Every structure is written in structure tokens, then in C-alpha cells.
Amino acid sequence: MNRNVLVCGGAGYIGSHLCEWLAAEDIGVVVFDNLDGGMAAQARWGTLVTGDLRDPRALEALFAAHRFDAVMQLAGRIVVSESVRDPAGYHEHNVVGTRNLLRAGAAHGAPPVVFSSSAAVYGDPQYTPIDEAHPCVPVNPYGATKMIAERMLADFEVAHGMRSVSLRYFNAAGASASGLIGESHRPETHLIPNVLRGHAMAVRLTSSAMTIRRPTVPVCAISSTSQTSAGRISRRSRTCGMAVRRSR
């Protein structure tokens, strides 16, 4: 039986690369995206279902129509400065939306979840390099919503046996080797594409020097790690590889 994966946020930057990776591995893909930050043109692999995680009825219809072997949750808002201005909006999208997704999944077989978290859960680094033992003290609403979602994942595993992995990456960059898709946001907030486009405002050394020094994570590495993580928790492995955090 062919495997089938739900990718929430699959029309976005990282999500579209993940869908391309999964399709190349002969894994069926269903993309669920409200196209607020993503683009339909990037959902080139699998079936696109337009909907919002904040709509429980849309999620119920989605899970009733498809059987999923795993769920990849990448949907949500990601701009730190915006989260400071609109914390309620970030909690609605990142926390309430994820809760709705987990509730729908729990009612339909409790498929394992790979959650796109963030290194923002750690807050200001107390030491580097940061490891999983580093205290989680987020300093902005964006990081806080990711930490709350991670806690929900742990609670859903206890209550419903819904296993999960949280990937705490940051500074995703790069593009598919196929050249079919790449880094594109509306509006573009990432440093590297703005520099390549010659946007001088993106390179303010007084405010961006730390960001420039920080390493980036290749988007294709995120895709491969997401697939590996889903496979391992599906097989109920005790270990989930490097750069991931189990919900328990």
C-alpha cells in the first residue's frame, strides 16, 4: 500500500520543497494550505486542498476524505517582528490552528506528526552551539507559540498515542536542485533572497550582523530530515536522529 502524507503549509517555501522530496520518494502527498503566505503555483506535487487550520470543519472533511500515514505541520506565521505587534494573531494561527489539526488527527487514527518548530523556543543563547538541553525561554510571541505547540504534541501523545517529532531549525535557505521551486515569500523577509535581489535595506550591518554570521540550514536537508523523522516514529523507534526533539 502506498504511503500518503498530509503536508500542512505545503504551498509555502519549506513545504513545497518537502512535497517535491516526498513525491520523488514515491510518497503520496496532500497539501492543505490557505494560500495566505504560500502560492498555489508552488504546490506542484500531490493534491492541493485549500483550507485553513483554524476551520475545524474543513479539517474534519479533509481527514474523512483521506487516510494519512503521517502529518507534516509547517503551516503558521513565522515573522518575529510581526508576532510582537500581533501576538493574538500568532496564537490563533500557530497554537489554535495546530490544536485543531491534532484534534482532527486524533479522531482519525492518530497518525504521527512531524512539527516544524523553531530555534526561537530557546530564546537568547546561554551558550553555543545550542543543544536540546538548552533551556527553552522564548523572548517573543513567535517562539512562545512554537513552544506551546510542542507541549500540545506531548499531551496528545499521552492522551491519544499520537507520536511526534519537533524540528527546531532556523535560517532555512537554498532551493531545489531541480530549479522548479526556490525561496519566495510574500512579502520577502529572509535576508539571503533580499541580498540577491539587491535590496539594500536588507543589509543593515547594525541590526543584521548577528544574522549574517549565523549558519543557514539547507531547505533540502530539512525535507530529508522530515521524511526520516516520520518514518522512524511510524516504526516506533526510540531514536529520531540528529537535530530533532521527540515530544516525550
CB contact set of 199 (below 8 Å; sequence gap of 6+) = 188
Q: Left, alpha or beta for 148 (phi > 0: left; psi -120 to 50: alpha)?
A: alpha
Decide if 119 contacts 168 (C-beta within 8 A).
Answer: yes
Q: What is the three-state SS of 125-167?
A: CCCCCCCCCCCCCCCCHHHHHHHHHHHHHHHHHHHHCCCEEEE
Average pLDDT in the chain:
84
Instruction: Identify the band that residue 241 occupies on the pLDDT scale cut at 50, 70 and 90.
Output: very low
Active site residue 127: no
Mean pLDDT lowest for which of 27-31, 70-74, 135-139, 213-217? 213-217
Distance from C-alpha of 177 to C-alpha of 175, rounded to nearest angstrom:
6
Could you give all domains of the chain from N- to C-terminal order, each with its CATH number? 4-174+217-246 (3.40.50.720)
Distance from C-alpha of 153 to C-alpha of 188, rounded to nearest angstrom:
30
Per-residue pLDDT tens digits for 156-193: 999 999 999 999 987 777 777 777 776 665 666 666 66
Mean per-residue pLDDT for 53-70?
A: 97
pLDDT of the residue at 240: 35
Distance from C-alpha of 76 to C-alpha of 145, rounded to nearest angstrom:
10
pLDDT of the residue at 170: 79
Mean per-residue pLDDT for 99-122?
A: 96
Cα–Cα–Cα angle for 175, 180, 184, rounded to 5 degrees:
55
Distance from C-alpha of 188 to C-alpha of 199, rounded to nearest angstrom:
10
Candidates 13, 90, 142, 169; catalytic one: 142
pLDDT of the residue at 197: 62
Res 234 pLDDT > 70:
no
